Structure 1
Amino acid sequence: MLPSDDIDTPRGPARIDTDLPVGPPDRAAIVAPARAPAALLVLGHGAGGTVDAPDLLAVRDAAVTAGLVVVRVTQPYRVAGRRAPAPAGHLDEVWTAVLAVLRERYADVPTILVGGRSSGARVACRTAGAVGAAGVVALAFPLHPPGRPERSRAAELATGLPTLVVNGDRDPFGMPASGPDVRVVSRPGETHDLRRDPAGTAIVVREWLRSHGWTAD
């Protein structure tokens, strides 16, 4: 992993943690991390969480082994130590600004993918078209507030891009439905935090990436 660094945005500095692609686990010690990236995957955190959530780290590990650059983005309100999330418009503004910088840094990478968990998944979906993403990885997408199914956020998944949703079958925030561009995978026994089997979640994501030709293997 490269050292963390900050990117200035209209809402304050966002922090990024970058991991470069490596070889398979048994070759990691001898394969240079400068391997040409197959794609860039940018991930955001949950509302009160961090980019070190177990599912995000597991997906990070699987993706870098598959030949992707992975950048995890911490929103400015979390960099400042606040847990209460910023308004949706502010989150989207920050995300768009960060992606603009990353597009320049990785101009030679052929594909940009976006995603995240919970609130981060919503941000990625809402802005996917604007940032030029080819696909979206949505972990623990919060379909509605707990106990309020009438307040559905399903429309946010209608990006027109290939979208993978991985949710626990016990998630109180609900389970989205699959659609023409949306594949939904239900993880047995998992709740909203997807902590029971992060490695299993990562396998689902890696296979989906591979099915679209976004890995180096």
Structure 2
Amino acid sequence: MVQTVDTDAGTARITWHRAEAVEKKARLVLAAGHGAGGGIEAPDLRALAAELPAHGVTVALVEQPWRVAGKKLAPAPKTLDAGWRGLWPALAAPGLPVVAGGRSAGARVACRTAGELGAHAVLALSFPLHPPGRPERSRAAELLGTGVPTLVVQGGNDPFGRPGEFPEGAYGLVEVPYGDHGFAVPKRAPVGREQALTVLTDGVLKWVSSLG
């Protein structure tokens, strides 16, 4: 189901992937936003939407207003946050705890707003710890300041921050071996793309299953 939502930043869109009710009743909503360079067609977001509903997790893939409007460049962080805030009542409408998540820029939005919106937890996919080649420009404060259970899923070769660069903190970290910022792996790697995505989905499933 596709739902449009008016926000202060413009019209946003949510694509719902409902938890399957046959075996397990839905117990969580995972709201996942896209990055600054792409949309909800990203392979990691699609993999989560395909896998998690069978395990009692409804996945809501969120398209920010700038993306819905067909613009190619993401706006300033404060505008991204405004769009996310405007979407939140629709994400919370099912009456279930909401895990705020996203990839790259979407992960930063989820981290920055988790506390004020009452997110149950945060899932940060490909968190851009720093611009490529600029480790001194760390964004670790956003990640460390969520105030809720947080999981980072990071490619082993992500130029925006490899797993070993992340500071110690109250969050979990799953490494996708050889993965880049989009979790793609080199052809010469001993794991393929599907295996890499399985590491991602298995790690997220284990984590969400542990959330109270």
TM-score by length of 2: 0.89
CA contact (8 A) 1:11 1:94 kept: yes
Secondary structure of 1:95's counterpart equals: helix
Partner Cα separation in structure 2 for residue 13 and residue 212 of structure 1:
31
Give the superposition deviation at 1:118. Answer: 0.5
Q: Are the counterparts in 1 of residues 48 and 59 from structure 2 also a CA contact under 8 Å?
A: no
> 1:169 Cα shift?
1.1
Separation (CA, whole Å) in 2 of partners of 1:162 and 1:60:
21
Matched letter for residue 186 of structure 1:
E
Note the residue ranges of structure 1 that are not aligned, 5 or more in a row: 24-30
SS at match of 1:165: strand
What is the CA–CA distance in structure 1 between the aligned matches of 2:119 and 2:58, rounded to whole Å? 14
Letter matched to residue 183 of structure 1: G
Which residue pairs with 2:189 in the alignment?
A: none
1:106 equivalent to 2:106? Answer: no
Gaps of 5+ in 2: 185-192
Structure 1: distance between partners of 2:167 and 2:49: 24
2:199 is equivalent to residue 200 of structure 1 = yes
Q: 2:147 aligns with which of 153, 157, 160?
A: 160
2:45 equivalent to 1:56: yes
Letter in 2 for 1:9: T
Q: Which of the two has greater helix per residue?
A: 2
Q: 2: CA distance between counterparts of 1:122 and 1:129?
A: 13
Q: Which residue number in structure 1 is paired with residue 123 of structure 2? A: 137
Cα distance in 1 between the residues matched to 2:147 and 2:3:
32
Cα RMSD for the two superposed structures: 1.5
Matches within 5 A, 1:106-125: 106-107=94-95, 109=96, 111-125=97-111
8 Å contact kept, 2:114–2:147 = no
Give the SS at the match of 1:115. strand
Q: Which stretches of structure 1, 4 residues or more, deviate above 3 A after TM superposition?
A: none
The match for 1:28 is none
Find out whether 1:185 has 2:171 as its counterpart.
Answer: no
C-alpha distance in structure 2 between counterparts of 1:130 and 1:37, whole Å: 24
- On the 8 A contact 1:62/1:203 being kept in 2, the answer is no
Higher relative contact order (CA 8 A, sep 6+): 1
The corresponding residue for 1:22 is 20
Number of aligned residue pairs: give it: 199
CA separation in 2, counterparts of 1:85 and 1:44?
13
| Correspondence for 1:70 | 59
Report the CA distance between 1:131 and its aligned residue.
1.2
- TM-aligned CA deviation for residue 101 of structure 1: 2.7
One-letter amino acid of the structure 2 residue matched with residue 78 of structure 1: R
The alpha-carbon distance between structure 1 residues 39 and 178, as it changes in their structure 2 partners (threshold 3 A), is farther
Q: Percent identity at matched positions? A: 44
Of 126, 132, 140, the residue aligned with 1:146 is 132
Cα deviations by residue, 1:80-138 (Å, 9 ceiling, x for unpaired)? 111211110000011011012322x212x2x1111010010000000011111111111
Q: Name the CA distance, whole Å, in 2 between partners of 1:178 and 1:21.
A: 34
